[in-house]
Structure 1
Amino acid sequence: MFGRLGRLVVHNPWKVIAGWIVAAVALVLFAPSLSDLTNQDQASFLPNKYESSQAQKLADKAFPQSTEQTSLLVYKRADGAELTPADKETVKRLAADLTGAGVEHVSKVENGPAEGKIALSTAYIKGEQQDKFVNEALKHLRDKAKPLVEKTDLKLGFTGGVAINVDNEEAFKKAEAIVGIVTIVLIIVLLLAIYRSPIAAFLPVIMVGLVSMVASPVIAIVGKATGLQVDQSLNTILIVVLFGIGTDYILFLLFRYRERLRAGDDKKQAMIVSVERVGEAIASAAGAVVIAFGAMLLATFGSFKSMGPGLAIAVIVMAIAALTLVPAVVSLIGPKVFWPSKSWQKQPKGTAFHKIGNLVGRKPAAVAIVSGVIMVAFAAGALNFKADYDQLSQLPSDTESAKAMKDMQLEFPAGTLNPTQVYVQSRTGGKLDRKTVEDFAMSLGGTKGVDKVSEQGDVDPKPHAKFSADGMSAEIGVILKDSPFANSALDTIKPLRAEVHGKAPEGTKVMVGGATASFTDIRTATNRDLSVIFPVAGLLIALVLGLLLRSVVAPWYLMLAVVLGFVSTIGATVFVFQTLMGNSGVMFMLPVMIYMFVVAIGTDYNILMVARLREEAKEGHEPKQAAALAVEHAGPSIAAAGVILAGTFASLMMAGIDMMTQMGFAVSIGICISAFVMSMFLVPSVTALIGHRAWWPGHADRPTHQPTRRDAGEDREPVYAGDR
C-alpha cells in the first residue's frame, strides 16, 4: 500500500504540490476562522447535569441583569493613605459619570462598598462571556475612565470577570506570537545542527506552515458543522503540535531517505522505498495520536471534548502531508536537500548510537532494570499530585487585573471578586415568601468558608436576597473567604450545598451557582473524564499496536512502558512545581495535556523503534542483535525528533503564563523520558529479553532471507560474533 502511494507521489510530484497549494489558498480565503470558535468561559463547557449549569439556566431566565458580565473597579489613593469622605464622594461621582459615558453594551457602573484604603464599583456589560464585543466594551470603558481619574487623587484598576478575560486574551495572543517565533527559530537551529543544510532546516518549517494553512480552516469547518467551541489555548497548542509532530514525521522520512541514498538508490527510488518502509510507522503513529485525541470525545467536560478532535484533525492533515507533500517536494530536490553538507554520503562509524545499541544488545537485563528504575523514581513524585484550578494565578502578575485584585484584598475578602450565588426557586408555582427567604439568606453567614452574605440595593436596612420580577425565584450572593478559584474555595462548595439543601425553605428548590461552583463541578467532571479516557485510549492504542506488529504480546509491554512514562512525567512536574517552587498544585488540565502529547507521542517513538526492530529481525538477525541494530538505525531519528519536539514544547515556557510554563515543562520532560529512556533503552532491551515470543502469534519477525554483511548498502561487522 505505502509502496504504491510512494510511486504515485514520486511520479506525479507537481500535481501533488499544486493540489496542496490550491487547497491551502481556497481554505484561507473561503473557510471560517478558528478564532470564531474560541470560548473563554470554562463553565460553558459543563453539561447540564451539573448543579452549577442548572443554576446558570435559572439565572438566565429569572435574573437577566444578573447574567450580565461584570468587572470590578478598584479605587485607592495615589499616596496609599486611607480614603477620605471626599474620595468616597468622588468614587460615587465617577460611577455616575461612567454610567452616562455612553459606552456601548455597558448598562451601568454601580457604586459599591468602601473600606479603609479601598473603594469598589461594579461595571455591568450586556452579553455572554464568549461574545467578543464584551471585551471590547471593557476596553472602551477603561479608556473613558483614565482621563476622569487623572483629575482626582485616586488610582483605578479593573479586575474580576471581563477584566481578567481581557488580560487573559492579550496574554494568550502574546504567548501565541512568542511560541510561534521561538518554535520556528528552534527548529531551524536544531535542524541546521543535525543536517548542516539550510534546505533541510527550512523544509519542515515551510511544509508545516503550508499544512497549518489547511489544518486550522478544516478544524473550523468541522467545528461550525458540529457546533463545536474550543478553548482559547487551542491556537497556541496547535502551533506546537503541528511543528512538533510534523517535524518528527519529516525527520523520520529524511533519515530513511538519507539511508537509502547511501545504499545507492537514485533520488526517486530512494523516496519510494522510504515511504514504503516508514509510511506504515508514520500512519500507525498518527493513528495512535488520533485515537488518543479522539478518545477525548468520551469526556463530559466540553473543553476536553472539543480540544481532542481539533488536534486529531491537525494530526491527520499533517500525516497525509508527510506521506504526500513532503515526498513530492524532496523527490524533486533530491540529494541537494542536504546541500552543502556531504556527510550524508558516508555512513558514520562508531557513533554514540552504535555504542548504545551494543550496550542494549549485550546487556539487555541490566539496561531494562536501570531504565525502569529511573522512570519509577520519577513516577514516585506523582503521589503528591494536587490539581490547581486557580485561573488568576496562571496570569502574569504584572497585568492590571492581577494588580487590582491584590489591591482589593487589602480591605476585602478574595471572594468579593466573584461572589457565589445561591438560587431559591418555588416548586409550588406560587410566589416565594420574602421573609422566609431573607431568614434563609441570613442563616448562611455562619457556614464554614463563607465570609458574609452580600447585601442588595441602596435601601437601609439592605436585604440579602434579590427577587425575580414574578416573585418565584430569589438570588442570594455569598462571599467566600478565599479566592474564588482556589482549591480551598472549591472545597467550600460541597458543604455549602449540603447546608443550603438542608435548610431550603419548604416548597422550594435551592441551587448553588457562580464561578466557584462551576469550577467545583469542572473538577468533578475532570476526575470522571480521566478515569474513562485513559483506559479506553490505552486499549485502542494497544489495538493499533497489535495490528501493526501482528502480535498480542508486544502491545501490552509497550503500553505499560507508555503508562510508566506518563506517571513519570507527572511525578517530575510535581517535584519541580510543587516541591521545588512551592506551588499549591499544578494546572488541573495538565494530566490531560500529558496524556495527549506524552502518551500519544511516546507511542510514536515506540512504534518507530519496534517497527525498525522487526525490520532488522526480518533481515535474519537474532533478537539481541536486532535490538542493537534497531537502536543504531532508529536511534538518531528518534533522538533528533525528541530534541526538536521537546524544544518546541519548551518554548511554551517563554509565554509568561503559568499554565503554559507548566505545560511546556511537563510535555518537554515527558518527551525526553519517552525518547531517551523508554524508546532508546527500556523498550528495545525488554524486547530483546522476550525474544521471538514478543511477536506471538503473528511471528512478524520471521526472517524473509538470511542476513548478510551488507546492511543499508554498506559493509558492517556483526554486532557480536558470539551470537551468530
Structure 2
Amino acid sequence: MGPVLTARETPPAKPPARPGGRRAVPWAVVALWAAVIALALPFAGQLADAQRDNVVDYLPASADSTQVARIEQALPGGESTELVVVYHRDGGLTAADRSHAQEQIDLITGAHAFDGPPPQGIPSEDGTTLMYPMSTTEPGTDNDARIALVDDVRERLDAAPVEGLDAALGGPGALMTDMEKVFETIDGTLMLATVLVVAVLLILTYRSPFLWLVPLTVVGAAAVASQALVYGLIQGFDLTVTSQSAAVMTVLVFGAGTDYALLLVARYREELRRIERPYDAMLAALRGCGPAVLASSGTVAAGLLCLLAADLNSASGLGPVGAVGVVCALAAMLTLLPAVLVLLGRRVFWPLVPAYGSEPKQRRSVFAAMGSSAGRRPAAVLVSGVLLLGALALGAFNLPGNLAQEDSFTQQPESVAAMKVLTEAYPGQGTQPITVVTPTGRAAEALAEAQGTEGVASARAGRSGGGWTEITVFAKDAPETAGESATIKALRAGLEGSHVGGPSAQQMDLADTNARDQKIVIPLVLAAVLLILMVLLRSIVAPLMLTAAVVAVWGAVMGLGGLLFEPVFGFEGLDPSMPLLSFVFLVALGVDYGIFLMHRMREEALAGAEPAAAALTALRTTGGVIASAGIVLAATFTVLMNLPLVPLFEMGFLVAVGVLLDTFLVRTYLVTSASLLLGRRVWWPGRLSRRP
C-alpha cells in the first residue's frame, strides 16, 4: 500500500488526456461479468440440491464405520433406517397406555415395510417407558423418502393423543432427518443475515448513501460465481459438498470480498486526491494495494487447500470449496469493483467526495495513539500481550469432550428429546444399534462371536447381499459411553474380516480421524503460510513473527472456548473437527491482516524510513482499514452463531473472536512492538536488514 498524501505534498500536474479507448475498458469488464452472472445463475441455483449430507459425507474416508455405511447402501433395499418409538408417562404406564401404543405400532408397521418380525415393546424397569426399536430399508439412500417416512410416523403418533402419555420418535434415522431439516433452512437464512450484516457495516464505514451498494453488489456477484463453480466441480469431479461447507463458503465470500473492497476503496480514495482522472487513480490504487491483496488471498486459499490432506470427508471437501469462494471474491474485487467505481466517478463518494488536489482532514488517529503507546515501551507492551494470550490459552484445559450427535442442536428437536428419555429410563442399557457387516461365508460364526463378546446384550443376523451379511448388535451400556466404546473396540478386535459401524462407532472414528488430520494438516498450513510470507516480504524473521502471532491467537480463542462453551453456553461438547478447522481459518485469515501491515511497513522501509518510523507509519495508515476489515469479517462469522447447530455456533464464535483479537491486539500492539524491538532485524536476511 503506497504512501498517504500529507499536508506537505501537492498534487502532480494534470496528466495528459488518455485515449478514448480507455473509457471502454471498464464497460467491457462490466459486460463480461454480466455475461458470467447470466450463465452462472442457473447452476448456482442447483447447488443446494447437489449438497450431500449423508452419514458417509461427514465420515473419515478410510474408517471402519464408513465401510459399514457404504456396504449397507449396497445391500438389498439399500441403507437401513433405524427408528425408535418411545412412549412415556411420568407416573408409570397404564394398561390402556400399552394397548394404545400397540395399536399405533400396528398402524405404523402396516403402512410401511419394516424389517424382521413385528416390533415388540421393551418396557423400562421403572415402568414409565416403553420403546419399540424398528428398522426399515424402505427409503434406502433417498433422503426425501426418509424424511417422508419420519414425518408420516410422527403424524400417526400425534393423530390420537392420550392425556399424560408422551409419544415421540427417536433413533438415528429420526436424528438425521431433524439434522437435514435444519440444513434446509440454513442457505436462505445465512445469505439474508450475511447481506444485512455487511450492508449495515458498510454504511457505517463509508457514511455514504450510495457507496456501500457497490461492494455489496460486487460481492453478491462473486457469491453467485462461486456457487456455480462449485456446482461444476461437483458434476465434473464428484466433489463432496456438505451444507456446512456451503455455509462456510458463503461467509468467506462475503467476509473476504468485503475486506478486499475496503482496502481497495480506501486506497482509491487516496489516489483520487492526487490524480485527476478516476481511471488513472484506480490504476495507481491497484498497483499500490494489489500485491498485498493477491498475497493475502493466496495465503487463505493455500491454507484451505491443505485440508485436502484430511481423511475426514467433510473437511477435505471444505478445502477446495472455501478456496473457490476466496478466489472468486478476489477476482470480482480486482476487476468488477474497479470497473464500476471508475464508471461512477467521484460522485459515488458523496457527500464526502475526495476532490482532486484536496487534502484529507487532519485528525488524531486512534491507531497513531496506539502506535505511540507501543513505541514508548515496546518491551512492556509485548510481554503484557504475550502473557494475556498465554493466560487465555490455559482455558483450553477446560474444553468439553467430543460433541455427541444428539447434542449438536442449540434447540432440542423431537428425536433428541426421545433419546434423552431413553437414556434416563434405561440406564446402563444400549438403546442404539451397533451395526456389524461380515462376509456371508462366516456369518453364523461371526454372529456367535458377537453374542459372546463382553458388553454385548443381544445380536441378530440381518440382510445379506453382495457377499456381506448385516448383524445388529445392542450393547449393555448406554450409547456413547465408555462401556459402549469398549464393546465396539472388542467387536472390532474379535470379529476377523468384519467391519463395525453405527452412530456410536462413527463418533469414535470421527474423533480418531480428527486427531490424525491435525498432525498432518496443521504442519502443511504452517509451511504454506510461511513460504508465501517469505516470498512476499523477502524475509525469514517477519514471517516467523506473524505466524507465531496467529498461532498464539488460536491458542487464546481455544482457551476462551473452554471457559465459555460449557459453563456459559451450556454446550455438552466440542465438535471433533473444530480445533483443526478453527486453526486453518484463524492462521490463514489472521496472516491476511499481517500481510497488509507488514507490506506497508516494507514499502516505507524501501522509501528510506527508519525501522521505527516505518512501523508506526504503517500502523497509522493501515490501522483504520484493517480494523474495518476485521470487524466486517468477524461480523460475517458471527452470523453462523445464529444458526441452530452447535458446530456452526462454535466455529462462528472461535473465528470471530480470533479475528477481533488479531485485529485489535496482535496487529496493533504485538506485531508493532515486536517490529520496533527487532528494528532492521525483522527483515533478515533481506537487504532491508542491512544499514544503507
TM-score range, shorter chain: 0.7 to 0.9
Determine if contact 2:382/2:670 at 8 Å carries over to the other structure.
yes
- Of the structure 1 ranges 282-291 and 83-92, higher mean CA displacement relative to structure 2 is found in 83-92
Secondary structure, aligned partner of 1:100: helix
Q: Does 1:275 align with 2:306?
A: no
Partner of residue 457 from structure 2, selected from 453, 460, 464? 453
2:531 paired residue number: 543
Determine if contact 1:646/1:672 at 8 Å carries over to the other structure.
yes
Residue type of the alignment partner of 2:565: F
Q: Does 1:314 align with 2:325?
A: yes
Q: Does 1:180 align with 2:191?
A: yes
2:51 paired residue number: 38
Q: Does 1:645 align with 2:633?
A: yes
Shift of residue 160 of structure 1? 2.2
Shift of residue 12 of structure 1? 1.0
Partner of residue 416 from structure 2, selected from 374, 398, 402? 402
Map 1:494-509 onto structure 2 (within 5 A): 495-500=486-491, 509=497
Distance verdict in 2 for CA 1:679–1:417, change over 3 Å: farther
Q: Which runs of 5+ in 2 are unaligned?
A: 3-18
Partner of residue 82 from structure 1, selected from 86, 92, 96? 92
Shift of residue 579 of structure 1? 4.8
Partner of residue 387 from structure 2, selected from 342, 358, 373? 373
Shift of residue 530 of structure 1? 0.9
Determine if contact 2:302/2:528 at 8 Å carries over to the other structure.
yes
Determine if contact 1:215/1:317 at 8 Å carries over to the other structure.
yes
Map 1:379-390 onto structure 2 (within 5 A): 379-390=393-404
Determine if contact 2:61/2:313 at 8 Å carries over to the other structure.
no
Partner of residue 259 from structure 1, selected from 270, 273, 284? 270
2:41 paired residue number: 28
1:111 paired residue number: 119
Distance verdict in 2 for CA 1:123–1:93, change over 3 Å: farther
Shift of residue 316 of structure 1? 0.6
Shift of residue 437 of structure 1? 4.0
Distance verdict in 2 for CA 1:224–1:366, change over 3 Å: same
Q: Deviations over 1:527-555 (max 9, x none)?
A: 11111111111111111111111222321
Distance verdict in 2 for CA 1:11–1:559, change over 3 Å: farther
Q: Does 1:296 align with 2:288?
A: no
Determine if contact 1:453/1:479 at 8 Å carries over to the other structure.
yes
Distance in 2 (CA, whole Å) between partners of 1:399 and 1:500 is: 32
Distance verdict in 2 for CA 1:57–1:660, change over 3 Å: closer
Q: Deviations over 1:181-210 (max 9, x none)?
A: 332222222222222112222322211111
- Of the structure 1 ranges 599-608 and 392-401, higher mean CA displacement relative to structure 2 is found in 392-401
Shift of residue 303 of structure 1? 0.9
Secondary structure, aligned partner of 1:120: strand
Distance verdict in 2 for CA 1:301–1:474, change over 3 Å: closer
Q: Deviations over 1:282-337 (max 9, x none)?
A: 11001000011000011111111101110101101111111101111111222223
Partner of residue 578 from structure 2, selected from 587, 590, 595? 590
Partner of residue 601 from structure 2, selected from 595, 607, 613? 613
Map 1:337-356 onto structure 2 (within 5 A): 337-341=348-352, 346-356=360-370
Distance in 1 (CA, whole Å) between partners of 2:264 and 2:583 is: 26
Determine if contact 2:296/2:592 at 8 Å carries over to the other structure.
yes
1:157 paired residue number: 168
- Of the structure 1 ranges 586-595 and 603-612, higher mean CA displacement relative to structure 2 is found in 586-595
Calculate the TM-score normalised by the size of structure 2: 0.88
Distance verdict in 2 for CA 1:578–1:627, change over 3 Å: same
Determine if contact 1:388/1:587 at 8 Å carries over to the other structure.
yes
Shift of residue 142 of structure 1? 3.1
Map 1:295-694 onto structure 2 (within 5 A): 295-341=306-352, 346-413=360-427, 416-425=430-439, 429=441, 432=444, 437-438=447-448, 440-444=449-453, 446-447=454-455, 453-454=457-458, 464-466=460-462, 468=464, 473=469, 475-479=471-475, 481-484=477-480, 488-489=481-482, 492-493=484-485, 495-500=486-491, 509-581=497-569, 583-694=571-682
Determine if contact 1:10/1:328 at 8 Å carries over to the other structure.
no
Distance verdict in 2 for CA 1:529–1:470, change over 3 Å: closer
Calculate the TM-score normalised by the size of structure 1: 0.84
Residue type of the alignment partner of 1:53: T
Shift of residue 414 of structure 1? 8.5
> Aligned residues: percent identity?
28
Distance in 1 (CA, whole Å) between partners of 2:95 and 2:586 is: 59
1:170 paired residue number: 181
Determine if contact 1:16/1:324 at 8 Å carries over to the other structure.
yes
Secondary structure, aligned partner of 1:282: helix
Distance in 2 (CA, whole Å) between partners of 1:545 and 1:249 is: 18
Determine if contact 2:72/2:78 at 8 Å carries over to the other structure.
yes
Say what the alpha-carbon RMSD is for the aligned residues: 3.2
- Of the structure 1 ranges 384-393 and 464-473, higher mean CA displacement relative to structure 2 is found in 464-473
Q: Deviations over 1:146-177 (max 9, x none)?
A: 33x34898543222223222222232344444
Distance verdict in 2 for CA 1:194–1:467, change over 3 Å: closer
Secondary structure, aligned partner of 1:126: coil
Determine if contact 1:454/1:478 at 8 Å carries over to the other structure.
yes
Shift of residue 249 of structure 1? 0.7
Distance in 2 (CA, whole Å) between partners of 1:123 and 1:564 is: 49
2:82 paired residue number: 70
Map 1:187-198 onto structure 2 (within 5 A): 187-198=198-209
Q: Deviations over 1:233-274 (max 9, x none)?
A: 123222211111111110111111122223455322221111
Distance in 2 (CA, whole Å) between partners of 1:579 and 1:145 is: 36
Shift of residue 671 of structure 1? 0.4
Q: Does 1:16 align with 2:29?
A: yes
Distance verdict in 2 for CA 1:408–1:623, change over 3 Å: same
Distance in 2 (CA, whole Å) between partners of 1:213 and 1:617 is: 41
Secondary structure, aligned partner of 1:379: helix
2:685 paired residue number: 697
Distance in 2 (CA, whole Å) between partners of 1:38 and 1:576 is: 32
Distance verdict in 2 for CA 1:194–1:412, change over 3 Å: same
Shift of residue 651 of structure 1? 2.1
Residue type of the alignment partner of 1:313: V
Distance verdict in 2 for CA 1:471–1:246, change over 3 Å: closer
Shift of residue 339 of structure 1? 1.6
Q: Which runs of 5+ in 1 are unaligned?
A: 456-463, 705-724
Determine if contact 2:475/2:487 at 8 Å carries over to the other structure.
no
Secondary structure, aligned partner of 2:84: strand
Distance in 2 (CA, whole Å) between partners of 1:154 and 1:643 is: 50
Distance verdict in 2 for CA 1:151–1:432, change over 3 Å: closer
Distance in 1 (CA, whole Å) between partners of 2:354 and 2:607 is: 26
Distance in 2 (CA, whole Å) between partners of 1:359 and 1:470 is: 72
